[in-house]
Structure 1
């Protein structure tokens, strides 16, 4: 499965292996939302998928990989993406999208003769910021060296990597799961009618009852944004 995505600070990211792990399980979401029955399980699961897709990596606004997934950053040359993006001051650093980085797969390029070359980790490049799950990561040449010259063409440089949260190296921040559950709560107004009912009454005319309280929805969205403020990449 491949998905193309032009990213804001240069290059194109291609999804090679999509995520399969859950950000929030159905059981965990129901527990956090105080739901014990099973009659709404299909709707709750659909709401979880929608909430995660609204945040995760290329399809979401957070700019962060929530689950383990493999991407390939494609550049025309090693000079394509040398923007000074915090926290990197190294002018040769190539920031990687969708933190946090779990591991590098390969760094390949076509040289000026069109021969496909592979850079070795530790000899041809190094990783900056690995092990900092709340920050971005980058690759750079080893100390006191420079990037090789690549043929100037689309996808001459291909940087493949695995990113996302797991249970060992990059443990997912609690507020991410909380935000997903809040989003699910907003998508399922029928589950707790006492908090979601809203009545518009005109004296002498009548009233109309809505199943989704707009004030409650606004508070929910604000709470989600507050939870994720320090996690937004772009």
Structure 2
């Protein structure tokens, strides 16, 4: 089911200063905006290739009804902010946090299940997107992001910056030597 970004990250795992270190750049600030765009693009590329969320973001997953367990996409999952659903009369309800449990013991998967001895409530029949789970995913701060992810992002930023051109259709050069890092984080559906 679809997952959308409600609140985008406020910081990326590689700072401007760190990117400049990867690039062996001077203190010149004239191209800082470009470097920051490359940091965002490299982070998004890593997230797209792996299915994980690097920088802390608020996401929302929508479902047509409650499954037995809700898999939260784009881990690592830090917390569940809310679970809202349309009840059998079509009125929006918010589940109490006491009614469900988050299993985020793995950086690879996040699950939400009803508390022991209970079941999910019934939802509005025949409708779509009747369940909406809002949650926080990604590492809590840039300093918490694993170093090998930062290395992957920094190396791509440096390569792209070095190989940029004035062509409107410039190609972003990949770093095949670092693909093992992506493979170690890539999520596969069970």
TM-score of the pair, normalised by structure 1? 0.68
Indicate whether 1:64 and 2:39 are aligned: no
Aligned counterparts, 1:78-89, within 5 A: 78-79=66-67
Return the alpha-carbon distance in structure 2 between the equivalents of residues 119 and 110 of structure 1. 11
Given candidates 65, 72, 75, the residue that maps to 1:99 is: 75
Structure 1 residue matching 2:78: 3-state secondary structure: strand
- Counterparts of 1:182-193 in structure 2 under 5 Å? 182-190=155-163
Q: What is the deviation of 1:138?
A: 0.7
Instruction: Give 1 or 2: higher helix fraction.
Output: 2
Change (3 A) 1:115 1:190: closer
Q: Give, in angstroms, the shift of residue 149 of structure 1.
A: 1.4
Distance verdict in 2 for CA 1:156–1:37, change over 3 Å: same
Q: Take 1:138 and 1:150, find their aligned partners in 2: how far apart are those partners?
A: 20
Q: CA deviation at 1:233?
A: 2.0
C-alpha distance in 1 between matches for 2:84 and 2:37: 38
Larger Rg: 1
Query: How many angstroms apart in 2 are the aligned matches of 1:77 and 1:117?
Result: 13
1:143 alignment counterpart: 116
Report the alpha carbon displacement of residue 40 of structure 1 after superposing the two structures with TM: 4.4
Residue 77 (1) aligns with residue 74 (2) = no
Gaps of 5+ in 2: 165-172
Larger RCO of the pair (alpha carbons < 8 Å, separation 6+):
2
Which of structure 1's runs of 4+ aligned residues deviate more than 3 A?
39-43
Structure 1 Cα separation of the partners of residues 183 and 117 of structure 2: 37
- Runs of at least 5 residues in structure 1 that lack an aligned partner in the other structure: 1-10, 80-91, 192-216
SS in 2 for 1:154: coil
Displacement after TM superposition at 1:120 (Å): 1.3
C-alpha distance in 1 between matches for 2:32 and 2:93: 50
Structure 1 residues 37 and 120: CA distance shift in structure 2, 3 A: same
Question: In structure 2, what is the equivalent of residue 198 of structure 1?
Answer: none
* Counterpart position of 1:43: 34
Q: Secondary structure at the match of 1:71?
A: strand
1:199 aligned residue: none
